A and B are shown apart, each in its own frame.
Chain A
Amino acid sequence: QVLLVESGGGLVKPGASLRLSCAASGFTFDEYYMSWIRQAPGKGLEWVSSISHSVIDTYINYADSVKGRFTTSRDNAKNSLFLQMGSLRAEDTAVYYCARVPRIAGDANVPLEADYWGQGTLVTVSS
């Protein structure tokens, strides 16, 4: 069965960096786009980024709120997805979910839906 397991969350101070990882299993990882989606405490969902399946021609999209501070990457040989987070702010506090994206659309490769999600990892940014 499809399994996504995030790790790397924790408590950090404003301005710090953190790297999240997502280990995938149960499907052919290099055939799927992947995304990071976050949820602030008691709030709704927000797409953070998406990354294409190929590491040769890689398409990566970011939310305006994280562009220039976060970097998404993947290692298809290790079935892993990463989110390098920098210049963290209090408003980045959230549960970060790794999710599989079965379809994309448009010239911008917009993810259409997330069909499998991990359990999430909590990132808390506080002094």
Chain B
Amino acid sequence: GESVGLHLPTLSVQEGDNSIINCAYSNSASDYFIWYKQESGKGPQFIIDIRSNMDKRQGQRVTVLLNKTVKHLSLQIAATQPGDSAVYFCAEGGGTSYGKLTFGQGTILTVHP
């Protein structure tokens, strides 16, 4: 993918608000999508995944929505907490790329107490 340097999209919210992080994916053949959370100095942490035969999946405080028509993925975090502050990446896989994941740009989420 192209380099976008250090200018990641950012989202600032107040504690207790709901957060929505968006992602556009590139490969229409992808059939598996994952959201990861990455804190500074740590590896990506699995949050939630969804397969292309679904358009919504819910976890604990998180919901992932998939719109295959426009190749868009979103992560909704309910009642955001300061501990949710991190960089969030979407990743796509499957289809003809089974095995490897292709990661999106990342969004910096900052939650203010």
- Bound pair (A, B): no
Give B residues with C-beta under 8 Å from A: none
- Hey, which bits of chain A sit against chain B, CB under 8 A? none
